[in-house]
């Protein structure tokens, strides 16, 4: 910006010439008389600057200032040279033509000097943003829920095109519910700001964000999102519990086109649901139909579809309807990898591993849900071992099937019985089934055992296996028997407990660690009402309702808070009084006098998720429970209303829930769903 130089008017020049000429004429006129010169010649007296003040709003902008020199008479002096200087060239500089250039924010004085005369003007520089422009990142295509490949970049300049440094730029999502990181930032030395845009996870389509600076128009960025996985089903997913819904899925590339051969996985399935076996990659049309088996939990159920090549997720929700129809079992008997039960009508059922026909089925295939045992009799008891099963009919008849001497048949240890077969001489009023042996209680109180033999578990004074029920030595009578993996125990009519068989971990409770081929009395002077033999430990309930355990303790299965083995009974912690107790491989469970279910021992087996516990921990849900039973590593319990629940390892379907998924919390056994 410049101001024109000031010029002298023509009349004034003529007047000055006239004044100079007049004395000369007069001198010539009076005969050459001398005239004295003016004693005060013109000299520089003042400098006028135009403009007199300057304000810049941009860096690098220029304004030219004019300097006009006047003498003492107010006349223009053209012959005077003016020089220029800035008090602070870092704010504004000036060249010798009077051209001022803004450099940075601040204030300074610009000075002009002609001869000995000086003048100055004030300069203020305050850079103001003028233009916000998009540099990079507009009009991209990518999957929804993913960060765009190219960052968004804007530049802020002033009116002269110079970068504006240190100014806040704010990012806002206009459409698509994505995220911007950072949501606000300051411009760098180039006047630029970059941000990463993660597209929202909604359906495919356009999305938009904006960058804004105060008092300037926003800059908009657009992107097109493509959902990497889409549910093509119309309407909500809904169906009866245990029904199979078809989830029709479509996979797309980042441009929104169907993409074939994409690996799909399913996880975080709630409500005990599962995915049926089927394709795990999208077909040539980018499609995949997944069978979602709804679990036995009414209401919303969820799963997450995972596209594993890019780790993209699609959460799905289905609504399960109907009312569960639970299996009406009065007895459940877990074996090692199979389970058997008796329903309220006395009909026997088995499920799980059938490798040695322990389910009374000739095909030897595992069964994942309760399957009727082919017999026309009414049953009162049933029990599962490792590879065999035995039951007691209402009339006291003992029937066994599966592998080995323990079936009570005159064969060797490798022979298999695939149908329930009567055990000769096996008319009992109580039956205990162990890992590979059994013990029965006669009406007169005598105890007989048969099956495989290693450490004395049959209690007949020998180490010879037998298929014939043989009396336990010692001549005692009994009120209750239990058969574990490698040892057995019983309670006499006066409440004394005796054990026999393997004793190397202290499970016989006699204070020692020796194997015993005949009954030895459990130490401690406690009177007993119940006793249960596990793998290497034993538990029992005293006449006053307290629980004790002894034997191996390395997995916290003794419930006393310690892992040391115990050769005589130690009290289970917690101060509970107990109605029922059971010992498994490395855990124990019991129902207390308030009908709450507690377990303790190794994690993943006690119904508390992946957790274990060194002392009794309540099993959820807090139903009123009637009984609990275990033999190996899985457990089943029956509530007071007759609902059966199982949990633990499930490789052979031994939990009876229709699949082979391990469960670390209880799940109800249901035979169907009632639809209104």
pLDDT at position 669 is 95
User: What's the token pair of residue 101?
Assistant: 């250039």
- Rounded Cα–Cα distance for residues 195 and 173 (Å): 12
Q: What is the pLDDT of residue 23?
A: 38
CA angle 343, 346, 347 (to 5 degrees): 70
Specify the residue for token string 């008796």.
342
**Domain-embedded: residue 1:** no
CA distance 560 to 537: 13
Taking Cα atoms as reference points, which of 365, 439, 373, 450 lies closest to residue 411? Answer: 450
Nearest to 411 by CA among 401, 426, 397: 401
In a domain, residue 246? The reply is: yes
pLDDT at 623: 74
- Rg over alpha carbons for the chain, rounded to the nearest Å, is 49
Distances (CA, A) of 150 to 36, 135, 141, 540: 88, 11, 10, 69
Same domain, 452 and 389: yes
* Contact predicate 80/62, CB 8 Å: no
Degrees, nearest 5: CA angle 102-108-112: 90
Per the domain annotation, does 668 fall within a domain? yes
Please check whether residue 187 lies inside any domain of the structure.
yes
Do 222 and 242 have their domain in common? no
Question: Are 222 and 236 in a shared domain?
Answer: no
Verify that 427 and 542 share a domain, yes or no: yes
Residue 558 in contact with residue 551, Cβ under 8 Å? yes
Answer yes or no: do 93 and 160 share one domain.
no
Same domain, 234 and 144: no
Say what the pTM is. 0.71
Could you tell me the two tokens for 353? 């591993």
Per run of 10 residues, the mean pLDDT along the chain (length 676 residues) is: 34 32 38 56 92 95 95 90 96 96 96 93 96 96 94 96 96 94 96 96 91 96 94 88 92 93 92 82 94 91 94 93 94 96 96 96 92 92 96 93 89 83 90 97 96 96 95 97 98 98 98 98 98 98 98 98 98 97 98 96 94 94 89 96 96 94 93 87
In this structure, is residue 3 part of a structural domain? no
Tokens representing 669 are: 């056994």
Contact 305, 269 (CB under 8 A): no
Do 192 and 66 lie in a common domain?
A: no
Q: Which residues contact 292 (CB under 8 A, 6 or more apart)?
A: 237, 244, 245, 246, 247, 273, 275, 276, 303, 316, 318
Task: Report d(CA 277, CA 348) in Å as an integer.
Answer: 30
User: Residue 87: which CATH number?
Assistant: 2.60.40.1080
Q: Are 363 and 411 in contact (CB under 8 A)?
A: no
Question: Do 101 and 29 lie in a common domain?
Answer: yes
**Final residue of a domain: which of 226, 259, 283?**
226
pLDDT, residue 37, reads: 57
Give the pLDDT confidence score for residue 277 in this predicted structure. Answer: 67
Distance CA 104, CA 126 (A): 8
Please give the Cα distance from 554 to 595 (Å, whole number): 28
Task: For residue 236, report the phi and psi dihedrals to the nearest 5 degrees.
Answer: -80, 150
299 lies in which domain range? 229-321
Same-domain check for residues 165 and 304:
no
Buried b (16+ CB within 10 A) or exposed e, 418-451: bebbebeebbbebbbbbbbbbbbbbeeeebbbbb
Q: Are 161 and 180 contained in the same domain?
A: yes
CA-CA distance, 345 to 359, in Å (whole number)? 19
Given 125, 149, 178, which residue is the final one in a domain?
125
In a domain, 524, yes or no: yes
Q: Is residue 637 part of a domain?
A: yes
Whether 258 and 399 map to the same domain: the answer is no
**Cβ atoms of residues 385 and 433 within 8 Å:** yes
Give the sheet arrangement for strand 99-102, strand by strand: 62-64, 99-102, 92-94
Of 261, 288, 321, the domain-final residue:
321
pLDDT (0 to 100) of residue 203 = 82
Is residue 2 one of the residues assigned to a domain? Answer: no
Which CATH number covers residue 185?
2.60.40.10
Domain total in the chain: 4
Q: Are 193 and 275 within one domain? A: no
pLDDT of 31: 44
Q: Is the dihedral of CA 604, 608, 609, 611 positive or negative?
A: negative
């Amino acid at each position: 910006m410049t101001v024109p130089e000031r010029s002298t008017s023509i009349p004034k020049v003529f007047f000055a010439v006239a004044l100079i000429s007049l004395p000369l004429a007069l001198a010539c006129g009076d005969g050459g008389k001398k005239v004295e010169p003016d004693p005060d010649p013109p000299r520089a007296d003042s400098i006028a600057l135009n403009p007199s003040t300057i304000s810049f709003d941009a860096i690098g902008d220029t304004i030219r200032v004019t300097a006009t020199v006047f003498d003492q008479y107010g006349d223009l002096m053209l012959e005077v040279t003016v020089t220029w200087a800035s008090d602070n060239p870092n704010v504004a500089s000036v060249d010798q033509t009077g051209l001022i250039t803004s450099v940075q924010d601040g204030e300074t004085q610009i000075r002009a000097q002609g001869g000995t005369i000086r003048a100055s003007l004030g300069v203020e520089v305050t850079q103001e943003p003028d233009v916000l422009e998009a540099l990079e990142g507009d009009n991209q295509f990518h999957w929804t829920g993913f960060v765009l490949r190219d960052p968004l970049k804007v530049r802020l300049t002033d009116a002269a095109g110079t970068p504006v440094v240190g100014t806040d730029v704010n990012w806002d999502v206009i459409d698509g519910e994505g995220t911007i990181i950072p949501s606000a930032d300051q411009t760098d030395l180039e006047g630029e700001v970059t941000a990463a845009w993660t597209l929202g996870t909604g359906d495919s389509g356009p999305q938009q964000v904006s960058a804004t600076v105060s008092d300037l128009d926003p800059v908009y960025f657009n992107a097109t999102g493509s959902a990497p996985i889409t549910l093509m089903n119309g309407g909500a997913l809904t169906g009866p519990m245990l029904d199979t819904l078809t989830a029709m899925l479509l996979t797309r590339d980042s441009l929104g086109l169907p993409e074939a051969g994409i690996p799909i996985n399913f996880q975080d399935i709630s409500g005990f649901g599962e995915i049926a076996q089927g394709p795990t990659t999208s077909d040539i049309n980018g499609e995949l139909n997944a069978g979602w088996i709804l679990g036995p939990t009414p209401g919303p159920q969820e799963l997450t579809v995972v596209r594993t090549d890019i780790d993209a997720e699609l959460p799905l929700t289905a609504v399960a309807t109907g009312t569960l129809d639970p299996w009406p079992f009065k007895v459940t008997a877990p074996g090692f990898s199979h389970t058997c039960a008796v329903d309220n009508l006395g009909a026997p059922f088995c499920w799980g591993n059938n490798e040695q026909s322990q389910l009374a089925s000739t095909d030897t295939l595992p069964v994942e849900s309760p399957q009727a045992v082919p017999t026309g009799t009414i049953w009162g008891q049933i029990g599962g071992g490792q590879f065999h099963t035995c039951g007691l009919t209402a009339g006291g008849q003992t029937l066994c099937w599966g592998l080995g001497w323990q079936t009570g048949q005159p064969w060797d240890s490798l022979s298999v019985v695939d149908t329930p077969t009567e055990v000769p001489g096996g008319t009992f009023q109580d039956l205990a089934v162990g890992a590979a042996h059994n013990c029965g209680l006669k009406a007169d109180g005598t105890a007989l055992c048969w099956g495989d033999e290693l450490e004395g578990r049959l209690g007949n004074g020998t180490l010879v296996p037998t298929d014939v029920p043989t009396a336990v030595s010692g001549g005692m009578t009994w009120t209750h028997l239990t058969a574990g993996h490698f040892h057995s125990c019983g309670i006499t009519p006066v409440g004394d407990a005796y054990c026999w068989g393997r004793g190397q971990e202290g499970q016989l409770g006699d204070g020692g660690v020796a194997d015993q081929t005949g009954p030895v009395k459990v130490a401690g002077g406690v009177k007993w009402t119940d006793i249960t033999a596990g793998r290497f430990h034993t538990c029992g309930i005293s006449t006053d309702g307290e629980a004790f355990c002894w034997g191996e303790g390395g997995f916290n299965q003794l419930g006393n808070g310690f892992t040391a083995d115990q050769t005589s009974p130690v009290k289970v912690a917690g101060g509970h009084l107990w109605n029922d107790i059971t010992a498994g491989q490395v855990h124990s469970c019991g129902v207390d006098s308030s009908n709450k279910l507690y377990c303790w021992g190794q994690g993943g087996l006690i119904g508390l998720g992946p957790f274990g516990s060194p002392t009794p921990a309540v099993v959820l849900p807090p139903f009123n429970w009637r009984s609990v039973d275990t033999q190996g590593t899985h457990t089943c319990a029956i509530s007071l209303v007759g609902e059966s629940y199982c949990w633990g390892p499930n490789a052979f379907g031994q939990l009876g829930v229709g699949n082979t998924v391990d469960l670390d919390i209880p799940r109800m056994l249901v035979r169907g769903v009632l639809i209104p």
